[in-house]
Amino acid sequence: MESLPLLVPLTVFVLAVFVGFEVINKVPSTLHTPLMSGSNAISGITIIGALICSYGPSLGSVSVGLGLLAVIFAMINVVGGYVVTQRMLRMFKEKGPRR
């Protein structure tokens, strides 16, 4: 992929940090653990980078090997992260009818 001039990705990065601050600040403290595991799962977006690096015509090269290793770790990150987050979120229940 052709690299863009630094300013474009940098702008996106800085703006995204601010969006992150705004959105995350509204998460109640009760949900801080699922927030962490959920954002953890999202950081498994590295799977994209891993796929790009591991998928090439030169099978057997060091770089493809490293890319495949990255695919494994990123997938654990994605799947493990979403699974534990969902397990936790499903536990939070309102008060049921009084016995």
Partner 1 sequence: MVPFVLNSDAYGLVGYAYLLAAVLFIVGLKMLSTIKSAPKGNIVSALGMVLAAGATLLLVNLHAEPGQDFTASLLWVFVAAGIGTAAGLGLGLSVQMTGMPQMVALLNGFGGIASLLIACADYLRQTDPTLIESHILTAAGLAVLIGGVTFTGSLVAFSKLQGIVTGSPILFPMQKIVNALMLLACVVMVGMLVANPKQEALLGFVVVLALVLGVLLVIPIGGADMPVVISLLNSYSGLAAAMAGFVLSNMALIITGALVGASGIILTQIMCKAMNRSLANVLFGGVGAAPTGKATSGPAKGIVREFSLEDAAIVLEAARQVVVVPGYGMAVAQAQHSVKELADVLEARGITVKYAIHPVAGRMPGHMNVLLAEASVPYEQLCDLDAINPQFDQTDVALVIGANDVTNPAARHAKDSPIYGMPILDVDKARTVFVVKRSLNPGFAGVDNELYYAPNCGMLFGDAKKVVNGLTNELKDSG
| Least Å from the CB of residue 10 to partner 1 | 8
CB of 26 to partner 1, least distance (A): 4
Q: Is 97 in the site for partner 1 (CB under 8 A)?
A: no
- At CA 36, angle to CA 23 and CA 16, rounded to 5? 35
Using CA atoms, how far apart are residues 37 and 86, in angstroms rounded to an integer?
A: 9
CB atoms within 10 A of CB 46: 15
Of 11-30, binders to partner 1 (CB under 8 A) are 12-14, 16-21, 23-30
Residue span 49-68 as binding mask against partner 1, x where in contact by CB under 8 A, dash where not: xxxxxxxxxxx-xxxx-xxx
